[in-house]
Amino acid sequence: MWTTHGLAQRSKPVDDTDDNGDDVMVIGLDFGTTYSGAAWATVEDFESDQINLITTWPDSGREEGKIPTELFYEDGKTYWGYGIPADGDPVRWFKLLLLKEEDLDANLRNSEILWRGRKMLKENGKTAIDLIADYLRALWVHVIESINKSRGESVVDALVFRVVITVPAIWKGYARQGMERAAKMAGILDRRPAGTTTLTFAPEPEAAALSTLCEPGRRVKTGDVYMICDAGGGTVVKEDLISYEIGDVDPIAMHEAVEGTGGLCGGVFIDEAFETICKARLGRKWDRLSKAGIKEIMKGEWEHAIKPQFKPENSKKEYIVGIPAEAFGKSSLDDASRQPYIKNGRIHFNSAHIQAAFTDAFDGIDALVGQQIQKAAKQDLSITVGCPYLGIILVGGLGASPYLYEHLKKRHSGAGIGILQSTGMKPRTAICRGAVFKGFLDALQSGSGTEFSINNIDAPISVTSTIARASLGIRYRTPFVRYLHDEEDKEWDSDEEEWKAARQMRWYLKRGDNVSKVDPIRHSFYRTYRKDPGRSFKVHLYHCQDEVPPSRQTSSVSSLCTIDCTLDVSFSSMKSITNPSGIKLKKLTYEVEMVPSGATVDFVVYIDGRRLGVHNAKVSFQ
């Protein structure tokens, strides 16, 4: 059996401990494109609504909810996060290097940051998985050190770990398998005194919803629909807006209302826009800046000061950005020839200058919000003009931005839509906190006899279903019927001596389906053999992003994964048949069943009516 989640894979190592659930710790890791975070909780913590955040990081003098997802290699040493030298040129966005180029947005494929990342891979003989493993290793060591300081090493050693790593909702299986491999290389699944560590993955928007809708003071009622807007630092190649409808309260049970939307409009693009503005004003002076000088402007002056606090309410207010002296050389530190003016080596921006850096990104976010509202309205979810109870909950790096709050409020308050914004570190840490929720919820739902179970805990919230983001199916052959099948699919079956229609698709799940409302579906297939095929047996599964999947394999249908099965039947025991020419053949009958389970989908292979054991089926994603 294998599992795919709307679709996120779950890895299920066998637990060899006799665990009653009290000695469990869930650790949530938000491995982000630009920033990463971590949170953790024991069963006792979870019962008392306490999720512990990692807020102190190496080489940082302030409390931060996240740490930069950056690496720097020099003289055989690996630097990460805040510890990268000021004049170092770090590798960024390497999370995206895990994806195939065809799965990247066209705007990203040739971006300078990804180009530098690919170059670094070649120069150092590393793979994207190596980079991710190096970062996760450093992150994991710090997380464990922090937990040990808080609870004591001997106490922590006695706890069984359940680790949840968040991933973009639309990541394909090969990327998730790459993340699992990186986690293993990073030592996250190393043997511990308490027993086997369990690793699972959680979709980022689902994690954000779990944590934000459970926040103290958040009052929800049945039928309410909330949009989670993950306005992160990168906000790339993932679905950032997801709508959930409340099906029940006390505890909260929610289901995904419509298929999520996403696009390229995150904080990193605002940063690039501000850098472009600075370059345009300084001209060739910018080229004199060292890497440390640029970092001083972009990190110190912009990211930690102006960007998170800016809102264009006072047109006369100035935003002063100090420029390192190296940029001016022997030239004057003043330039009043044009705005923004430069005085004593400092650029005096006005509100309009700063606002220009946000314009494109915020327009993009606003367009995505509009698309999500339109989708929900088509689903008759009461999200229409004048609906007073839909709320847009802002999370991510930009989630606390007062400007984003005011921007969305201005655009959508007329429709009665409330903009809900947390304060402090909550928006930035929503995903890693939600990962902890997801870890406990999965453990509660797993029951006894699997991984580990947690008893006697009342889950405050659950996700009962998700919307399928792609159609899932299997390719097969069937007797050719003229006018029904395409002539180009017609091929001769020499075993059965008849014309067959090849490349036909049988879809188990179609894009847009509510996964929880689909009953288990089992389809029967067979293969014929003239000689012993051996014990190897493969089942190929396919997926399609089309709104309506085709009845035959077209260019839009691509391979999802292969289930490599080990046959537990002998060639001689297979059913014997005879073709029209009297040639004896062997026939292997098998079935592939899709079993929806909450927000997950399991595919199970049956041979001659008998379920193939999990150890006889290995999944490989393409």
604 closest CA partner among 592, 613, 621, 588? 592
What Cα–Cα distance (Å) separates residue 204 from each residue in 207, 430, 578? Answer: 5, 9, 54
Q: Is 195 in the same domain as 276?
A: no
What string of H, E and C letters represents the secondary structure of 318-337? Answer: EEEEECCHHHCCCCCCCECC
Residue 487 lies in a domain: yes
Of the two residues 214 and 318, the one the predictor is more confident about is 318
Kind and range of the H or E run holding 507 = strand 498-509
Same domain as 160, residue 296? no
Query: Which of 252, 202, 203, 251 is CA-nearest to residue 226?
Result: 252
DSSP string over 62-130: S--S-EE-EEEEETTEEEEGGGS-TT---EE-GGGGGS-GGGS-HHHHT-HHHHHHHHHHHHHT--HHH
Number of Cβ within 10 Å of residue 117's Cβ equals 20
Peptide bond into 58 cis (omega under 30): no
**Residue 451 belongs to a domain:** no
- Mean pLDDT computed over 339-347: 96
**pLDDT score recorded for residue 312:** 86
Report percent pLDDT > 70 for the chain.
88
Return the amino acid letter for 313: E
Beta strands at 536-544 and 471-479: parallel, antiparallel or unpaired: antiparallel
Q: Which helix (H) or strand (E) holds 601?
A: strand 600-607
Per-residue confidence (pLDDT) for residue 446, from 0 to 100: 60
Q: What share of the chain is helix, strand, coil (3-state, %, to 5)?
A: 30, 30, 40
* Residue 2, pLDDT above cutoff 50: no
* CA distance linking residue 563 with residue 276, whole number of Å: 49
Q: What are the pLDDT digits (tens) for 482-538? A: 999 999 999 999 999 999 999 999 999 999 888 877 788 899 999 999 999 998 889
Last-in-domain residue among 315, 339, 357: 357
**Residue 321 near residue 302 (C-beta atoms within 8 A):** yes
Give the model's confidence band at 19: pLDDT under 50 very low, under 70 low, under 90 confident, else very high: very low
Give yes or no: residues 348 and 439 share one domain: no
Show the beta-strand stretches assigned E in 107-224. 160-167, 198-203
**Of residues 430, 451, 429, the one with CA closest to residue 440:** 451
* CB distance 8 to 167 below 8 Å: yes
Higher pLDDT, 107 or 138: 138
Q: What's the CA angle centered on 403, arms 348 and 86, to 5 degrees?
A: 55
Q: Do β-strands 418-421 and 391-395 pair in parallel, antiparallel, or remain unpaired?
A: parallel
Is 385 a domain residue? no
Asked if 196 and 297 sit in the same domain, the reply is no
CATH code of residue 440: 3.30.420
pLDDT computed for residue 382 by the predictor: 54
- Among 314, 335, 357, residue at a domain's last position: 357
The letter for the amino acid at 113 is I
Is 391 in contact with 226 (CB distance < 8 Å)?
yes
Residue 244 has pLDDT above 80, yes or no: yes
Same domain, 13 and 82: yes
Which of the residue ranges 16-20, 105-109, 553-557 would you say has the lowest mean pLDDT? Answer: 16-20
CB 309 within 8 A of CB 405: no
* pLDDT score at 381: 59
* Domain boundary, last residue among 313, 331, 357: 357
Per residue in 578-607, pLDDT (tens digit) is 999 999 999 999 999 888 765 567 788 998
pLDDT tens track for 185-224: 999 999 999 999 999 998 888 898 899 888 877 888 888 8
Report pLDDT for 383.
52
**What pLDDT sits at residue 388?**
43
- CA–CA dist 509, 518 (Å, integer): 8
Identify which of 199, 135, 187 has the alpha carbon closest to the alpha carbon of residue 163: 199
Q: What percent of the chain has pLDDT over 90?
A: 47
Per-residue pLDDT tens for 65-96?
A: 999 999 999 998 999 999 999 899 898 889 98
275 and 197, same structural domain?
A: no
Q: Is residue 163 part of a domain?
A: yes
Q: Which residue reads 């004048």 in tokens?
A: 386
If asked whether residues 177 and 306 sit together in one domain, one would say no
Nearest Cα to Cα of residue 419 among 400, 434, 442, 433: 400
Segment 530-535 long-range contacts (CB within 8 Å, at least 24 positions apart): 530/495, 530/583, 530/585, 530/586, 532/571, 533/571, 534/567, 535/566, 535/567
pLDDT score at 449:
37
Q: Is residue 134 part of a domain?
A: yes
Q: Give residue 399's pLDDT.
A: 83
Indicate if 438 and 476 belong to the same structural domain. Answer: no
| Same domain, residue pair 440 and 484 | no
Whether residue 36 is predicted with pLDDT greater than 50 in this model: the reply is yes
Supply the DSSP string of 283-317, one letter for each residue. Answer: THHHHT--HHHHHIIIIIIIIIIIHHH--TT-TT-
pLDDT tens for 157-177 read 999 999 999 998 778 888 889
Kindly state whether residue 139 falls inside one of the protein's structural domains: yes
Contacts for 26 with CB less than 8 Å, ≥ 6 apart? 40, 41, 46, 161, 162, 163, 164, 436, 439, 440, 443
Q: Around Cβ 242, how many Cβ atoms within 10 Å?
A: 27
The total of structural domains in the chain comes to 3
Burial class (CB in 10 A: 0-12, 13-18, 19+), 221: exposed
d(CA 124, CA 425): 36
Which of 135-139, 233-237, 242-246, 443-447 reaches the highest mean pLDDT? 135-139
C-alpha distance from residue 583 to each of 494, 497, 533, 577, 580 (Å):
11, 10, 17, 8, 7
pLDDT band per the 50, 70, 90 thresholds, residue 455: low
How many other C-beta atoms are found inside a 10 Å radius of the C-beta of residue 136?
Answer: 24
pLDDT of 242 > 50? The answer is yes
Give the predicted TM-score (pTM) of the model.
Answer: 0.85
Instruction: Print the domain residue range for 519.
Output: 471-621
CB 111 within 8 A of CB 101: no
Q: Are residues 304 and 196 in the same domain?
A: no
Taking the CA atoms of residue 288, residue 291, residue 293 and residue 294 in that order, the dihedral angle to the nearest 10 degrees is: 90
Model pLDDT, residue 197:
95
- Comparing C-alpha atoms, which of 304, 401, 399, 307 is closest to residue 64? 304
Q: Are 250 and 460 in contact (CB under 8 A)?
A: no
In terms of domains, do 486 and 438 share one? Answer: no
Q: How many CB atoms lie within 10 A of CB 203?
A: 30
Same domain, residue pair 156 and 285? no
Site of tokens 């991984």: 451
Q: Does position 332 have pLDDT exceeding 90, yes or no?
A: yes
**pLDDT at residue 264 tops 70:** no
Residue 381 within a domain: no
The yes-or-no verdict on residue 132 having pLDDT over 60 is yes
Using a 10 angstrom Cβ sphere, with 0-12 exposed, 13-18 middle and 19 or more buried, the burial of residue 385 is exposed
Mean pLDDT confidence for 317-321: 93
Q: Crossing angle of helices 204-212/426-446, nearest 10°?
A: 100
Position 237 in a domain:
no
